[in-house]
Amino acid sequence: MMLRSLLFVPGDSERKQTKAVDSGADALLLDLEDSVAAPQLPAARARVRELLTARSDRSRQQLWVRVNALSSGILLQDLVAVFPGAPDGIVLPKASAPAEVAEVGNYLSALEAREGRAVGATKLLVIATETPQALLTLGSYRPDARIAGLTWGAEDLSAAIGVTGKTDQQGALTFTFQLARSLCVITSAALDVQAIDGVHTDFRDAAGLQREAEEARRDGFSGKLAIHPDQVGPINAAFQPSAAEIDWARRVVAAFATAPAAGVINLDGKMVDKPHLVQARRILDRY
């Protein structure tokens, strides 16, 4: 299932969880990390587990949990607390290397076996650019059926590097953050998993969100993180192929189907060959 919109919801807020369920988000990311104050963490774990258990039908909306980073020392407690609720996936923040992802995958395998669930059923969304070390190791990821997607984050990375701003005078990302964003898309494509764009934290800025989501789609992302219910509709719309794109894709597929021996076709005076067919199939898959 392609996830267009993934809405963060603080793990300790029942009020926001109730709202989030009706937001139209393809997935909720129930947060136990940055949006939960330390004293609230035990209550948040219990709350998240309760929601997971109460909503066992995930056909319209997946439920994921963002746990604390491996380096926090409390990731295992987070996993053990929520696992009986059968989360669709785990969001792993501040992952610094593929070996860390593999280690968390092994913990998930053990918990799945204990719960009598298929080993590998719980997917991972890796926040893969939050530390400087992470950026330097992206090239050593190898395909792994547990990884469903990669996403990138600028907030923690900018703190770790010590930059005083992430954008230039025109508002465009500076090179370091463009690099993180591009490497996220490229690594996701190499692994054949979803590339998920990061959050637009200025949640009142609807025009900015729309622009960012459209640019993300253009650049190869297939979904985007949200932090507010108002962001969900525009994100879903931006990642849904347009009627014109679907029409084009259908005609490309049909043209090759009627000429099975042709490697290249003239469609409305434009050359269409194998890469276009791949792109057309991708659009139809998403639709």
Q: Which residues bind Mg ion (CB under 5 A)?
A: 34, 156
Q: What does 158 bind: Mg ion, ligand COA, none (CB cut-off 5 to 8 Å by kind)?
A: none
From the list Mg ion, ligand COA, none, pick the one residue 85 interacts with, judged by a Cβ distance below 5 to 8 Å according to partner type: none
- CA–CA–CA angle 263, 264, 265 (5° rounding): 130
Cβ at position 33, least distance to Mg ion in Å: 7
Query: Rounded to an integer, what distance in angstroms lies between the CA atom of residue 136 and that of residue 140?
Result: 9
- Residue 83 interacts, among ligand COA, Mg ion, none and using kind-specific CB cut-offs from 5 to 8 Å, with none
Q: Which residue is nearest to Mg ion (CB)?
A: 34
* Of residues 74 and 253, the one with the C-beta less far from ligand COA: 74
By a kind-dependent CB cut-off of 5 to 8 A, residue 25 interacts, out of ligand COA, Mg ion, none, with none
Upper half-sphere CA count for residue 44 (Cβ side, 13 Å): 26
CB of 222 to ligand COA, least distance (A): 20
Instruction: Give 97-150 as a DSSP string.
Output: SHHHHHHHHHHHHHHHHHHTPPTT-SEEEEETTSSHHHHHHGGG----TTEEEE
CA 223, distance to chain mean position in Å, is 6
The least CB distance from residue 225 to Mg ion, in Å, is: 11
**Minimum CB distance to ligand COA, residue 13 (Å):** 7
Cβ neighbours of 80 (radius 10 Å)? 13
The amino acid that residue 174 corresponds to is T
Kindly state the greatest CA–CA separation across the chain. 66
3-state secondary structure of 167: strand
Nearer to Mg ion, 34 or 50 (CB): 34
Q: Which option in ligand COA, Mg ion, none does residue 249 bind, with CB closer than 5 to 8 A by kind?
A: none
Q: In angstroms, what is the minimal distance from the CB of 121 to ligand COA?
A: 25
| 8 A C-beta contact, residue 56 and residue 23 | no
Q: Which is nearer to Mg ion, 29 or 81 (CB)?
A: 29
What residue type is assigned to position 30 of the chain?
A: L
Output the six-digit token pair for 130. 């939050």
Shortest Å, Cβ 11 to Mg ion: 14
As measured in angstroms, the least distance from the Cβ of 48 to Mg ion is: 17
Looking at the Cβ atoms of 5 and 122, the one nearer to ligand COA is: 5
Closest CB to ligand COA among residues 16, 276 = 16
d(CA 215, CA 218): 5
Strands 89-92 and 270-272: unpaired
Q: Indicate the residue among 121 and 160 with the shorter CB distance to Mg ion.
A: 160
* 146 versus 200: smaller Cβ distance to ligand COA: 200
Residues 144, 257: Cα–Cα separation, whole Å: 33
Instruction: List residues near ligand COA by CB under 6 A.
Output: 7-10, 15-16, 19-20, 31, 34-35, 199, 203, 227-229
